[in-house]
Amino acid sequence: MKILMLGWELPPHNSGGLGVACLQLCKSLAKQNVDIEFILPYKADHDHDFMTVTAAHPQGVVEIQKAGGAYDSFKYVYSDGQEEWLDVYSQQQVYEQSIGRVVTNKTYDVIHAHDWLTFRAAMRAKELLNLPVVLHVHSVESDRAGGNHGNPLVREIEATAFSLADTIIAVSELTKQTIMRDYHVPANRIQVVHNSIEPDTFGELEPDNTYAYLMAMKAQGYKVVCNIGRFTIQKNLPNLLYAAREVVAREPKTLFMLVGGGEQYYQLLTLAASLGIGKNVIFTGFQRGKRWRDAFRIADLFVMPSVSEPFGLTPLEAIGYGTPALISKQSGVAEIIDNCLKVDFWDVEAMADQICNAVRSESLLAELHTNALKEFKRLTWDTSSQKLLHIYRRQTVAA
Amino acid sequence: MKAIVLYLHVHQPYRIKPYTIFDTASDHDYFTAEYNDRTSNEKILHKVAAKSYIPTNQRLLKLLKDHPEFKVSLSITGTVIEQLERWSPEALQSFKDICATGQVEIVAETYHHSLAFFYSRAEFEMQVDMHRRKVQEIFGQTPQVFRNTELSYNNDLAYWADKAGYKGILTEGWDKVLDWRSPNYVYRPQYTNQIRLLMKNYKLSDDIAFRFGNQAWSEWPLTATKYTHWLNAEPNATNFNLFMDYETFGEHQWDESGIFNFLEHLPAEWLKTEGNTFMTVSEVIDAVDPVGMVDVPQTITWADTERDLSAWLGNPMQNEAIEALYALQDRIIATGDYALIEDWRRLQTSDHFYYMCTKWFSDGDIHAYFSPYETPYEAYINFMNAYRDLEYRLIQKGVTV
């Protein structure tokens, strides 16, 4: 089985969970003897022995990153020394135009494309190769726009691609419902394949932690509530801050740490100050590596309050690093983990109550984590890749 | 008789270096950036000493010697004196030299250029005392006239300064306070007995401090002759209070603007007319009777179009930061740890809050020019992380936070 896999990013050049999910999924598919050629919009050194990574065209990763992450619907940027401005929309057009050259004289069985940036390329490849197309939906435009309509150009691509696709894969039931609601796609054309995580990749916890200040404050009886993610409307961080005000009023020894960056950065800083909790809210900026892992570990509770989270990898990572999670019910991950605190994203009161309950009770935190960890350890990408393999087979038989 | 009362304010803060949450609780030095960083206090001091302090004092010294009538009043903060001692003894010596002429008066203020008056009277008085002792040590003078940080002023402050024995106090000659009255006289603050009030003539002061180098200004280029003509044209004034940042000369207005040339020619031009002279702030208070009472129930300052404290305390970040800092007072002082107390005081310097100002549209150019940070948010984050380190140091001493 040979798959033409169209993606926008892979670690370490990922802007979020999309790249991680693609990588893990391919790794697991490779174990089932699937031969993958992964097409990226940029050239970078990837040391993956389980698949071939090909650049659609010879630009560096910087140009793509300047164009905005895969999550940005629209952003003007300077591209490559020439007097030209390329936004992420034009980038996906270039990617589409390059795909013909990439697939010339090659044979595949199925085309598998991840999110709207690669959908036009997928349609072009389908036309050229006369092969079935599987569209994998990690998020749709209304998710990224925090429940709003979003960018009409992006919606047009999504609508067209969904109607032409042979099969659509959603990363959660929630996403399946969203696709049906936004694009009127019949339920039987959408299969749910949950994202997952590889528990073995979470090694032994390091003994030291880079957040010396938080360590000291915890020794004083403070509790740390953490969010890691992009500061964007989808993530609903203003509501977390409104809840934080309630929590700090009731439990003054609670610190909130927001790890990340994004267009809401200044808004969130000002909001925390105007809510009178500037001392209790710590902004670390965007982090990778040990500081990123340590943020999960130092927290007593991880909170993902997203308005709409098709899947939502970070709570699983938190659990893997030893921290229980509070997540919004509007998230795909809520479908696969039971042992989490769950609230509606709009319910600030409930969010505050849940956080208070958690920081007041060591035993609740411990119990939540112990049970969540059991669920976590059962997770594997292999379940997902087996489902996918089944979908591929059905497509090739149909073709 | 008409006197020019030239009063110059010398100040440099200890700017906070790039300081993240990862520095908190591990690096307790908030103020020593890499030399080439925008926040490097040493580098900025070297620059200002070379561009402003040394060349200006050189000219002032010559003017003071050439014209015995020429007088200057200076306020010079404790934080800048320390930095001069450490990084430019030459510039400090040049200040001592002009003071040695006997024609320069030093004005009292808080050592750390703080807003402590509005948050803690005890801390405020301590800083005023520290400043007096430093001035006595370095310049051999005891200040008689008081100015609060940013010329901030209200009736309470005048009442305090009166009780503390100052003969005068300085503030902005703001229209909303003076109404039909002119700043070119000596006044008395409401509810006081002895003290006199000198109010800045902001139009004439800003002609030099802000507009001098602006080629789009209809009066550009401003010459000493033209300026003197304006002053002479005022029929009934007794004193022209020209109050400005010292760094106007050479730093805010660069050498290329002709500012030094203007300074060199002003005394001779002004003194050409019979009855014209210069006075220090104390001299004018001794020589001229007050013409009326001034009532300032609400705080005014010399900054921005609002002339209030909104450049320092106008947004939630500024208020959070300063309130958090002063809330630590009792615990910090109780430690008796000089280094800790001093770091806490350095964080009180008003500049830190000024850098967090978000009033970009009306006064943005001025704010941007004076801030070493990319954004006010960056200034806030650095400050709060340094504040958290103070908390950490208290914890290390067994204090509960």
- CATH code for the domain of B76: 3.20.110.20
Alpha carbon of A288: minimum distance to chain B alpha carbons (Å): 13
Pair B134, B98 in one domain:
yes
- Please give the structure tokens belonging to residue B11: 């100040």
For the ranges A92-106, B95-109, B386-400, the lowest mean pLDDT is seen at: A92-106
Fold of A2-196+380-398: Rossmann fold (3.40.50)
Banded pLDDT at B236 (limits 50, 70, 90): confident
Cis peptide before A132 (omega within 30 of 0): no
Percentage of residues of chain B with pLDDT beyond 70: 98
Residue of B123, B150, B172, B269 marked catalytic: B150
Inspect the interface and report whether the beta carbons of B400 and A220 lie closer than 8 Å: yes
Inspect the interface and report whether the beta carbons of B25 and A216 lie closer than 8 Å: yes
Alpha carbon of A299: minimum distance to chain B alpha carbons (Å): 15
Residue A59 confidence (pLDDT) above 80: no
Number of folded domains in chain B? 2
Q: For residue A168, list its beta bridge partners.
A: A135, A190
Give the mutation candidate from B19, B20, B21 for the A interface (greatest A CB count, under 10 A): B21
Q: What is the mean pLDDT of chain A?
A: 91
Pair B254, B362 in one domain:
no
Q: Which residues of A touch B25 (CB under 8 A)?
A: 212-213, 215-216
Q: Which residues of B touch A278 (CB under 8 A)?
A: 316-317, 320-321, 324, 380, 384
Tens-place pLDDT, residues A64-91: 666 665 555 434 344 444 445 567 888 8
Pair B282, B319 in one domain:
no
CA dihedral (A164, A170, A175, A176) in degrees, to 10, reads 60
Q: How far apart are CA A280 and CA A259, in angstroms?
A: 14
Residue B363 confidence (pLDDT) above 80: no
In a domain? residue B286? yes
Helix (H, G, I), strand (E, B) or coil at A182: helix
Tens-place pLDDT, residues B114-160: 999 999 999 999 999 999 999 999 999 999 999 999 999 999 999 99
Inspect the interface and report whether the beta carbons of B324 and A212 lie closer than 8 Å: no
Residue B52 contacts residue B259 (beta carbons within 8 Å): no
Q: In angstroms, what is the C-alpha Rg of chain B?
A: 21
In a domain? residue B300? no
Pair B272, B367 in one domain:
no
Over range B208-237, report the average pLDDT.
95
A213, A219, A291 ranked by CB distance to B388: nearest? A213
Residues 6+ apart with CB under 8 A from A332: A171, A172, A173, A174, A175, A194, A195, A309, A310, A311, A312
pLDDT of residue B208: 97
Inspect the interface and report whether the beta carbons of A213 and B381 lie closer than 8 Å: no
Nearest alpha carbon to residue A44 among A20, A67, A60, A57:
A60
Q: How far apart are CA A12 and CA B345, in angstroms?
A: 44
Please say which residue of B262, B294, B326 terminates a domain: B294
Alpha carbon B232 to chain centroid, angstroms:
28
Q: What is the mean pLDDT of chain B?
A: 96
Alpha carbon of A29: minimum distance to chain B alpha carbons (Å): 40
Q: Which residues of A touch B396 (CB under 8 A)?
A: 216
Q: How far apart are CA A139 and CA A142, in angstroms?
A: 8
In the block, tokens 């690669």 appear at A118
Whether the CB of A212 is below 8 Å from some CB of chain B: the reply is yes
Q: How far apart are CA B16 and CA B356, in angstroms?
A: 12
Burial zone of A266 (CB within 10 Å; 0-12 exposed, 13-18 middle, 19+ buried): middle
Residue A252 confidence (pLDDT) above 70: yes
CATH topology match: A2-196+380-398 vs A200-378:
yes
Burial zone of B338 (CB within 10 Å; 0-12 exposed, 13-18 middle, 19+ buried): exposed
Segments forming the whole domain that contains residue B377: 310-396
Alpha carbon of A211: minimum distance to chain B alpha carbons (Å): 6
Percentage of residues of chain B with pLDDT beyond 90: 94
Closest CA in chain B for residue A222: B401
Pair B334, B281 in one domain:
no
Pair B317, B382 in one domain:
yes
Tens-place pLDDT, residues B313-339: 999 999 999 999 999 999 999 999 999
- Please give the structure tokens belonging to residue A218: 């915890």
Q: How far apart are CA A268 and CA A41, in angstroms?
A: 33
In the block, tokens 């991950």 appear at A333
Q: Which residues of B touch A216 (CB under 8 A)?
A: 25, 392, 395-396
Helix (H, G, I), strand (E, B) or coil at A357: helix
Residue B32 contacts residue B16 (beta carbons within 8 Å): no
Count CB neighbours of B89 within 10 A.
12
8-state DSSP, A252? S
- Please give the structure tokens belonging to residue A109: 């069985």
First and final CA of chain B: distance in angstroms? Answer: 60
A210, A266, A278 ranked by CB distance to B321: nearest? A278
The interface residues of chain A toward chain B in range 213-232, judged by CB-CB distance below 8 A, are: 213, 215-217, 219-220
Count CB neighbours of A219 within 10 A.
9
Cα distances from B261 to residues A188, B97, B228, in angstroms, run: 85, 21, 14
Helix (H, G, I), strand (E, B) or coil at A353: helix
Residue B71 confidence (pLDDT) above 60: yes
Please say which residue of B244, B263, B294 terminates a domain: B294
Pair B207, B347 in one domain:
no
Over range B48-55, report the average pLDDT.
98
Whether the CB of A178 is below 8 Å from some CB of chain B: the reply is no
Tens-place pLDDT, residues A160-205: 999 999 999 999 999 999 999 999 999 999 999 999 998 988 877 7
pLDDT of residue A73: 45
Closest CA in chain A for residue B318: A273
Tens-place pLDDT, residues A288-344: 889 999 999 999 999 999 999 999 999 999 999 999 999 999 999 999 999 999 999
8-state DSSP, A380? -
In a domain? residue B301? no
Most distant CA atoms of chain B, gap in Å: 69
Inspect the interface and report whether the beta carbons of A265 and B377 lie closer than 8 Å: yes
For the ranges A95-109, B189-203, B257-271, the lowest mean pLDDT is seen at: A95-109
pLDDT of residue A13: 82
Alpha carbon A254 to chain centroid, angstroms:
27
Banded pLDDT at A16 (limits 50, 70, 90): confident
Tens-place pLDDT, residues A22-36: 999 999 999 999 999
Q: How far apart are CA A325 and CA A345, in angstroms?
A: 14
Inspect the interface and report whether the beta carbons of B380 and A269 lie closer than 8 Å: yes
Fold of A200-378: Rossmann fold (3.40.50)
Alpha carbon of B319: minimum distance to chain A alpha carbons (Å): 8
Per-domain residue ranges for chain A?
2-196+380-398, 200-378
pLDDT of residue B368: 63
Nearest alpha carbon to residue B116 among B107, B108, B126:
B126
Over range A35-64, report the average pLDDT.
85
pLDDT of residue A79: 40
In a domain? residue B303? no
In the block, tokens 């005081």 appear at B345
Percentage of residues of chain A with pLDDT beyond 90: 78
Between B92 and A146, name the one with better pLDDT: B92
Please say which residue of B232, B259, B294 terminates a domain: B294
B22, B320, B391 ranked by CB distance to A278: nearest? B320
In a domain? residue B121? yes
Pair B322, B214 in one domain:
no
Over range A341-366, report the average pLDDT.
97
Tens-place pLDDT, residues A130-169: 999 999 999 999 998 988 999 999 999 999 999 999 999 9
Sign of the C-alpha dihedral computed for residues B247, B252, B257 and B262 taken in this order = negative
Pair B288, B326 in one domain:
no
Inspect the interface and report whether the beta carbons of B381 and A270 lie closer than 8 Å: no
Strands A35-40 and A2-6: parallel
Pair B283, B390 in one domain:
no
Residue B85 falls in the annotated catalytic set? no
Q: How far apart are CA B85 and CA B63, in angstroms?
A: 25
- Please give the structure tokens belonging to residue A184: 């009127």
Alpha carbon of B212: minimum distance to chain A alpha carbons (Å): 35
Pair B123, B266 in one domain:
yes
pLDDT of residue B360: 65
Over range B92-120, report the average pLDDT.
98
Banded pLDDT at B383 (limits 50, 70, 90): very high
Pair B139, B260 in one domain:
yes
Q: How far apart are CA A161 and CA A90, in angstroms?
A: 17
Q: How far apart are CA B266 and CA B229, in angstroms?
A: 11
Inspect the interface and report whether the beta carbons of A211 and B401 lie closer than 8 Å: no
In a domain? residue B42? yes
Inspect the interface and report whether the beta carbons of A210 and B22 lie closer than 8 Å: yes
Burial zone of A297 (CB within 10 Å; 0-12 exposed, 13-18 middle, 19+ buried): middle
Give the mutation candidate from A220, A270, A277, A291 for the B interface (greatest B CB count, under 10 A): A270
